[in-house]
Amino acid sequence: MASKILLFLFSIFLYSFPRLILSLSADQTVQTFIIRVNSQSKPSIFPTHYHWYASEFADPPRILHTYDTVFHGFSATLTKNEADTIGKNPSVLAVFKDRRRELHTTRSPQFLGLRNQRGLWSDSDYGSDVIIGLLDTGIWPERRSFSDKNLGPVPSRWKGACQAGEKFTVLNCNRKLIGAKFFSKGHDASASVGGPMVSNDTVEYRSPRDADGHGTHTASTAAGRYVFQANMSGYASGIAKGVAPKARLAVYKVCWKNSGCFDSDILSAFDTAVKDGVDVISISIGGSDGVSSPYYLDPIAIGSYGAVSRGIFVSSSAGNGGPDVMTVTNLAPWLTTVGAGTIDRNFPAIIKLGNGKQFSGVSLYAGAPIGGKMYPLVYPGKSGVLAASLCMENSLDPNAVRGKIVICDRGSSARVAKGLEVKKAGGVGMILANGMTAGEGLVGDAHILPACAIGVNEGDLVKKYLSTTPNPTATIDFQGTLLGIKPAPIVASFSGRGLNGLDPNILKPDLIAPGVNILAAWTDAIGPTGLDSDTRRTEFNILSGTSMACPHVSGAAALLKSAHRNWSPAMIRSAMMTTANVLDNRNQPMMDEANGKQSTPYGFGAGHVNLGQAMDPGLVYDITNEDYVNFLCGVGYGLKEIQVITKSVPNCPRKKPLAENLNYPSIAAWFSSAKVGAISKNFLRTVTNVGEVNAIYTVKVESPKGVTVVVKPTKLAFTAAVKKLSYVVTVTTDSKSLTLDDSGAVFGSISWSDGVGKHVVRSPIVVTLLTPL
């Protein structure tokens, strides 16, 4: 009887309560907004938060998602006036627009330092008890990489499910792929008001099935099973395997082919993944505008905090905006942000000119070879028409390119799409020449005609030959797969670079992993170029991007989580960062692909992942939820803004914390360029001993040029009773005499060594000058 009375009262309330929402006007544009609500403000008359939202804020059909785990609130289609009105409600903490995000698009496990018979693979049983959640474009479940042969039962803690949909049933899940869901309400709402949508001539599935290929590729990179005789049209032949081959996969499709990924769907996927029981979340997605929002307005930062605060490791891609400085994305300090490096494998192709000169490039072309025949060479950009120089759609004159090898400048359109334009115009081949932005950075593509990518210097030389020769000719010789490349790794030209444009107290990226020419599983919905006109189908594809680097670290985290179940996400990240390599396979400092010079922590963070050492790092830097809250207090966020991220009302210390004292495994010291004379900053760090019980560590300092670095104490003695010890780093410089490099910084490091050569715990130091606003 009481429940009936409550329902009756609720019905009266629902229809009589003065709603905040205004009626729609014809001249008001509807778009999706995400609303962060104080969950404690819900009137008791409402049985659920959804009923409250539907009564007070928006009509039920306009509510897209409700969030209750990593975030409290909802998303809805509203006009700006309606959103502004809702924002004035005292129960509402924040209102922000739904944004469109972009994807940051078999030898690599060995290049991470993994070996079959010993080390992290064997100690973690290849990650068999760990669940990796991937937020991406879905999965092609039939691929051999997702077989559950000889896998044990699904972990009992798993609470997720397999969501059926178009050409995807619950039977597509197994003991390997233990969950699959899709999130499209934000995407659909955007399409309904004129945003990007799936076109009629594009294959897409309203289900977890992957029509794009990106999600299948990242999933198998992180946790693909052993697959023998793997290759992409003959390239990279061998055994394909993910970093954590026995880890379980849960796929959350949030990105849709040709139309991107929307924050409201991403946040809902975070919410669901945490409730489902994943241990690791991998998200190779980031902003498309190059601008980073404050953490409290960034759903990826908010969703990942909700996951990390519950012990779930979250890895994210650093973005493909390099090599310019301040292009790194996904900057929240609780995220592990991953840049991209090369591995010791390449796919060379040789351009031979009519004058006998040769230039080395890269290609994954697998069709009929040119056969050494020399063809006329043409550069459409010689006419001065920009679109023609870039080989944009319908820009090429068939009379000018028919039967010739065409030079196309890189940029503005997909690399493989340029080849398609050349082929449509009757060209027989393409030389894809980098501009200054890409520099010497090369990635392989499965072109639909004979084509080769070359660096900016080689491109200029080829163009010079063409402009000074009456009848220029060229041919392309494809060399296949070459192993043992030196130097490697090299920081990829495209990989997002520091400075951290949101908060210079935190060095980003955190580290790099293999992200250039990575072989992994592929969808059967589209060919290896991703072009709708590409009718080829292949089980594997070779892709490049920080999207490919991120799942390497996701898989690595799964292995470390399996081997060390009590480690926090911060401890796992610390283990990878402090043991990372800063030397290449020549034992020389790591190089930068963009300019051929020595790279810096703005490119590689702490270094390149080395899982052979990360299993036993000796010391780790742990960070608690309270530490993150103090950091947010320290950067100047208000209590309401912090609560948007943390859900609970924060308790900022009376004395404002110093943001630079967040217990991060790297040190970023920035000083005002306006200050004159010697200037100093102190950085407090605390290390936890996870190695031998009785150990003494001694510090070694490599001070940046023009900077004095002092560490106190210089020795740390651990015992059974003393597992944690702190130290202070004092960084001193003079802004007038400090000479910065081209990136606007100088670099050094501190390393704690146990004296027996087993453990060296290294942290990079970055010092920069910033002009006050």
pLDDT at 737: 79
Residue 26 has pLDDT above 60, yes or no: no
Q: How far apart are CA 546 and CA 32, in angstroms?
A: 28
Buried b (16+ CB within 10 A) or exposed e, 240-268: bbbbbbbbbbbbbbbbbbebbbbbbbbbb
Average pLDDT rounded to a whole number, residues 365-371: 86
Grouping H, G, I as helix, E, B as strand and the rest as coil, residue 529 is: coil
**Angle, alpha carbons 600-601-605 (nearest 5°):** 140
DSSP class of residue 688 equals E
DSSP E strand stretches across 302-367: 313-317, 336-341, 345-346, 348-353, 358-362
Q: How far apart are CA 249 and CA 215, in angstroms?
A: 12
User: Is the Cα dihedral 262, 264, 267, 271 positive or negative?
Assistant: negative
Average pLDDT rounded to a whole number, residues 16-27: 41
Residue 750 — very low, low, confident or very high, per pLDDT cuts 50/70/90? very high
Buried b (16+ CB within 10 A) or exposed e, 179-192: bbbbbbbbbbbbbe
Compare 577 and 43 and report the one with higher pLDDT: 577
Those residues with Cβ within 8 angstroms of residue 12's Cβ, 6 or more apart along the chain or in another chain: none
pLDDT at 588: 96
DSSP class of residue 658 equals P
Catalytic residue status for 136: yes
Q: pTM value?
A: 0.91
pLDDT at 231: 84
Q: How far apart are CA 719 and CA 335, in angstroms?
A: 32
User: What percentage of the chain carries pLDDT values higher than 70?
Assistant: 91
Residue 104 has pLDDT above 70, yes or no: yes
Catalytic residue status for 547: yes
Residue 579 — very low, low, confident or very high, per pLDDT cuts 50/70/90? very high
Residue 669 has pLDDT above 60, yes or no: yes
- Crossing angle of helices 2-16 and 49-56, in 10° steps, is 30
- The residue type of 407 is I
Q: How far apart are CA 672 and CA 680, in angstroms?
A: 11
Compute φ and ψ for 729, nearest 5 degrees: -110, 125
Catalytic residue among 547, 554, 599, 749: 547
410-428 confidence digits (pLDDT tens) = 988 889 999 999 999 999 9
Radius of gyration of the chain (CA): 27
Which residues partner with 514 through β-bridges? 341
pLDDT at 619: 98
Both tokens assigned to 746? 């100088």
Residue 206 — very low, low, confident or very high, per pLDDT cuts 50/70/90? very high
Average pLDDT across the chain, whole number: 89
Q: How far apart are CA 167 and CA 58, in angstroms?
A: 34
Residue 652 has pLDDT above 70, yes or no: yes
Average pLDDT rounded to a whole number, residues 308-334: 95
Residue 230 — very low, low, confident or very high, per pLDDT cuts 50/70/90? confident
**Angle, alpha carbons 548-502-568 (nearest 5°):** 60
- Please, are residues 49 and 72 in contact by the beta-carbon 8 Å criterion? yes
Both tokens assigned to 6? 């409550």
Q: How many distinct helices (H) and strands (E) make up the chain?
A: 19, 39
Q: How far apart are CA 492 and CA 595, in angstroms?
A: 10
pLDDT at 291: 67
Residue 704 — very low, low, confident or very high, per pLDDT cuts 50/70/90? very high
Catalytic residue among 98, 129, 136, 344: 136
Residue 675 — very low, low, confident or very high, per pLDDT cuts 50/70/90? confident
pLDDT at 743: 85
Buried b (16+ CB within 10 A) or exposed e, 35-49: bbbbbeebeeebeeb
Residue 200 has pLDDT above 80, yes or no: no
Average pLDDT rounded to a whole number, residues 361-369: 90
Q: HSE on the CB side for 133, CA within 13 Å?
A: 29
Grouping H, G, I as helix, E, B as strand and the rest as coil, residue 666 is: coil
DSSP class of residue 105 equals -
Catalytic residue among 187, 214, 447, 552: 214
DSSP class of residue 435 equals -
Residue 201 — very low, low, confident or very high, per pLDDT cuts 50/70/90? very low
Which residues partner with 240 through β-bridges? 227
Grouping H, G, I as helix, E, B as strand and the rest as coil, residue 730 is: strand
Residue 773 — very low, low, confident or very high, per pLDDT cuts 50/70/90? low
User: Which residue reads 């804020």 in tokens?
Assistant: 57
Q: Which long-range contacts (CB under 8 A, 24 or more apart) does 641-646 make?
A: 641/94, 641/294, 641/296, 642/296, 643/38, 643/93, 644/36, 644/93, 644/94, 644/296, 644/302, 645/295, 645/296, 645/301, 645/302, 645/305, 646/305, 646/309
pLDDT at 192: 56
Q: Of 434, 552, 542, 432, give the one whose Cα is nearest residue 489.
A: 552
Compare 685 and 394 and report the one with higher pLDDT: 685
Grouping H, G, I as helix, E, B as strand and the rest as coil, residue 756 is: coil
Whether a cis peptide bond, with omega within 30° of 0, leads into 632 is no
Q: Of 412, 408, 413, 416, give the one whose Cα is nearest residue 434.
A: 408
147-183 confidence digits (pLDDT tens) = 999 999 999 999 999 999 999 999 999 999 999 999 9
- Please, are residues 541 and 138 in contact by the beta-carbon 8 Å criterion? no
Residue 772 — very low, low, confident or very high, per pLDDT cuts 50/70/90? low
